[in-house]
Structure 1
């Protein structure tokens, strides 16, 4: 009688000793016992090693690796190289998964060999509200993940427009890992989004299934600073430039170009808010140069002209007032 398939759970961590115990407990609570956990410590300076060692001492399925600080993508790639499972579950060191996730998603993939990646829903919780079950971190608390199944053009275009899921939502076949290039280590914090787009470009089949007990549970952290958002938008632009060399579908390529212009504009907003007026104005002009639609081009040019005269704390409101309607239409197109 053959053994059940092994699931490799990859947990990158950096100074999350105060969270990773909860993460490992959620893994040990899985109804599917055939897993290995590869914890990759990305150069932590807190008690992460001790916390993981305490769990590993009583559970040999947990392995610990350490590297110099290189961020999450490099940690995930190292974990993948030291894993052996037929299926792969990504799990950040401050997050959790519901108890039946591995059991039910493994069973689905075993029954549907044509599916490469299965994913379910997400709920968010805060540090003070561990039992919360929020659909999103936005004030309206509305679900944001699309329930999309399939492969090919529609999937590629959807992922080019925006990310499809959180990192711990999917369960991935090893053949996907073998076929797709590793996580891009130059794209934090959007390396997971980039990875899913490249999976779709490779023709991988995604499947959404709302199976009971399979939710991804994500810890909601305080809103990031403007400087962090500057770094994030710069990574989005690098991602889009890279994708422009990989995408072959003309419709998806045009959409990627449109979104690149929008990202340049929003990077301009964040540069101005962070106190870099000239860089912000240059980004607005870049957005206008990249933009193909006249209405949008004029809006970004107006932002560039107005930026020196508008207090930086009002810049976001100015941009929102002039662009919200158009952005809503573009996002839904």
Structure 2
């Protein structure tokens, strides 16, 4: 069995994907692999990946018809050969030394099921801003913060987890059109798995014009589904969570409109 599978779900955006794959290959050791799930790309991505996989023994590529990022990640976890899976968005880059730091953290805390870290937001002028997260005292506190904080208290890209645990918990939910990463984290919290924060940047997040657009209506619907799945069983508590989340998402929408003017 391999140590890590660095998993990327790709759909077009070839120039950004090239940087992501190069960073992953540079970080992967002899016991690791880089696995790209090509989700029906319509540009030159398929041909480029085929050429790279023929040249680079650490790189493995699986092609699928366009099914969305959730299905691509779920299929990637199924196909992964590593004991641990390291998630990398196709427009991000792995920070130097990140994989060894993650491996050391799992070795030092073998009870850990999922590990998340900080990230660097890199802007067009080359400047970088570190976005930091924190360790929560309990899964209950982490779950509450996920639902009630205006900003989700983790970044999915750079997250690592035990493949066997992810499969046991049901893998990524391919039926979720949005908030796939939140659903995945909540599964671990809800089932009392051990989530640990690593206090260092693990990925570089490229701020660019092709970032996924924010659909607040779909987002609010997804949050309501997640609160029904993982939120308080008490109907009054569940209604309070929904009201708070609805208000937070609406305020974000207003802020974005004002900022564009």
TM-score range, shorter chain: 0.7 to 0.9
TM-score between both structures, scaled by the size of structure 1 = 0.67
Kindly report the root-mean-square deviation, in angstroms, between the aligned alpha carbons of the 2 structures. 2.8
Q: How does 1:212-223 map to 2 (within 5 A)?
A: 214-222=201-209
Give 1:224 deviation, angstroms: 6.4
1:196-230 deviation digits (Å, cap 9, x = unpaired): 0111111111222224xx5221122447667x232
Match of 1:155 among 121, 127, 142: 142
Deviations 1:234-261 (A, max 9, x none): 22223223334xx56x6xx865532312
Bigger relative CO (Cα 8 Å, ≥ 6 apart):
2
1:198 aligns with 2:187: yes
Q: Give the strand-richer structure, 1 or 2.
A: 2
Change (3 A) 1:31 1:195: closer
Partner of 1:257: 239
1:64 maps onto 2:61 in alignment: yes
Distance 1:255 1:37 in 2: 43
* TM-score, with length taken from structure 2: 0.84
What is the match of residue 128 of structure 2? 133
Q: Given that residues 116 and 156 in structure 2 are in contact (C-alpha distance below 8 angstroms), is that contact kept between their aligned partners in structure 1?
A: no
Q: Is the 8 A contact 2:147 2:245 kept in 1?
A: no
Q: How far apart in 2 are the matches of 1:218 and 1:40?
A: 20
The structure with the largest alpha-carbon Rg is: 1
Structure 1 pair 38–187 and aligned structure 2 pair: CA distance change class (3 A): same
Task: Figure out how many residues of one structure are paired with residues of the other and give that number.
Answer: 253
| 2:35 maps to 1:53 | no
Residue range with higher mean Cα deviation, 185-194 or 42-51: 185-194
Structure with higher helix content: 1
Local SS of the residue matching 2:147: helix
* Structure 2 unpaired stretches of 5+: none
Gaps of 5+ in 1: 136-142, 274-315, 321-333
